[in-house]
A and B are shown apart, each in its own frame.
Chain A
Amino acid sequence: MRYAYIFLFCMLVLTIFVQPVFAQEKTLKEQRAERLHSLEDRFFAAQKEGKTIKGVLVEGNSFFNGTTDPQKKPYGKPYTDAELRTALRSAERNSKVFLLAQDGTLYYPTVKKGEADSESLGAYRFERVLTEAQKKTKTFTWATLVPMVGREIEVLGEVYPGYGGVKGLYIEAVGFEGEYIVGKN
């Protein structure tokens, strides 16, 4: 019986920490669903008005040192296969990732204006807006930048003036075709 009490005590301690998750699960689930729904509405409304930003994600180091020229390649295919492999590898080693729009504007993904204390966006999970067809595939509802390097994405967010021609881009949500991790929904 003593062991049962010890076990119950342990479960009690665990429950104290886990309890908020289960107690609020429905509310949090609803909150998240509402947030995603609102993002979807805003994303598709902005898309209709032409206010989303479309571009391909490029890896910063090889772009800025002029080793690769994604801006000179046909839009949507910024790298050769060999270049893409190295660009992806560099990006996962935390080389910065930029958004290169079709009109040649370069955007630096950043945090919301006013946030001075921030984190690397290389690990940040951006909310992903899904089309009705994508929803049926039960694909990821979020995406990070690194696996998307070399691909076209559409962004709902805020554009900041930036510096030296490179604009700042706060990404609120992203939309893109296909799978998040190619070959693995």
Chain B
Amino acid sequence: MASKKPVITLKSIFYTAVSLVWIFGLSAIGHIVMVLIEKYNPAIKYDFAWGCVIVGILTLYATRFMKSDSWQSFFGCLAGLSVWFAFEYSLMYGGHDLGVTYTWNGSYPEYRMIKWTYMLLLMVFLYLLFQESVRCNFIFYLRRKLRLMRGAIATGKIDNYGPRTFFEYIMVTWTFYVLLMIGYDEALFGAYSWFIYILFFASFSVFFYLTYKLLGYDRFGANLRYAIPTVTILWNDIEILAKWGMLKEPWVHINWPIMSVIIGGFVVSTWLIVKDLRSRKQDMIEIKDIH
């Protein structure tokens, strides 16, 4: 974060809106692809998962050759989504193999399995919390408040944002799935418990706070990276509303008119991002131009 009070300009509003639409569209399209495969051709789902993991790794590797942090973030996010796809399918396979049932309140076996990764999530989180070179704003805030910093804040150029965005996408998605599934567990809290109500309202509030912060970025690299938690936090509310029966998710019930709007938004935002990044490259002065 460059400053505590974001400087909001028309340009930053445009970049924020495009990033939010792109990340939201990406998540929605990811969901509908899974639903379509499950509905029409479930036989290919595990092959598809392997395809996703290969594409994810290749995309992640490709970020190593990219010069712009925006392209690195863009492809890092896609790589994260691909590998996350594969992770969900692996849990689906595990759930099927172990005979994990649906819960009576409707949670799917793979998400029941995700809940039990909470200790693994805690271990990764602890590493991030104590690893002083991690520059995530939230982690940094916790580290400061818990007085965990022993030395100076890590500074300097980050050479490749691809793996960071990849990891960020996975961690954020993972964290909120675990949180939701713990909340939905009727033995602990339940879908209509105080925990879920707090999560709902906290997510709603934090979404607006993060959007406000996001408005301080006027280029796609940082904007895309920070749009990931912003959209994922909003997604909590979507999931909770669906759980309460107050929303029929268009990607689950395959509502093509609404999905067409989302896919349209995703295509247009992708075009705007790619166009912007390509024009930036033309304006860029490279070392070879100086010599």
Contact = CB atoms under 8 A, between A and B. Distances in A.
A120 B99 contact: yes
Q: How large is the interface on B (under 10, 10 to 19, 20 to 34, 35 or more residues)?
A: 35 or more
B40 A25 contact: yes
B190 to A, nearest CB: 11
Interface stretch (B3-11, B44-52, B169-177): B44-52
Contacts of B100: 94, 120, 122-123
A123 to B, nearest CB: 5
A166 B41 CA distance: 35
A54 B96 CA distance: 28
Nearest to A90: B104
B279 to A, nearest CB: 14
B232 to A, nearest CB: 22
A145 B101 CA distance: 9
Nearest to B68: A3
Nearest to A26: B40
Given A3-B71, A32-B39, A144 B101 contact: yes
Contacts, number: 112
B258 interface: no
Interface in A1-56: 2-3, 6-7, 9-10, 13-14, 16-18, 20-21, 24-25, 28-29, 32
A108 to B, nearest CB: 15
Nearest to B51: A17
B104 A91 contact: yes
Given A17-B48, A92-B104, A144-B102, A3 B66 contact: yes
A6 B60 CA distance: 11
B12 interface: no
Interface stretch (A63-71, A74-82, A153-161, A177-185): A177-185
A21 B48 CA distance: 10
A122 B52 CA distance: 28
Nearest to B92: A123
A185 B252 CA distance: 12
Contacts of B104: 88-89, 91-92, 146-147, 149
A146 B101 contact: yes
A138 interface: yes
Interface residues of A, number: 39
A88 to B, nearest CB: 4
A146 B102 contact: yes
A185 B246 CA distance: 10
B138 interface: no
Given A2-B65, A32-B39, A119-B96, A94 B101 contact: yes
Given A20-B44, A123-B99, A184 B245 contact: yes
A29 B104 CA distance: 29
Given A14-B82, A32-B40, A184-B245, 14 more contacts: A3-B71, A10-B62, A10-B78, A14-B55, A17-B48, A21-B48, A24-B40, A119-B99, A122-B100, A123-B101, A147-B103, A180-B106, A181-B105, A181-B245
Interface of B: 33, 36-37, 39-41, 44, 47-48, 50-52, 54-55, 58-59, 62, 65-66, 71, 75, 78, 82, 95-96, 99-106, 109, 186-187, 242-245, 248, 253
Interface of A: 2-3, 6-7, 9-10, 13-14, 16-18, 20-21, 24-25, 28-29, 32, 88-89, 91-94, 119-120, 122-123, 138, 144-147, 149, 180-181, 183-185
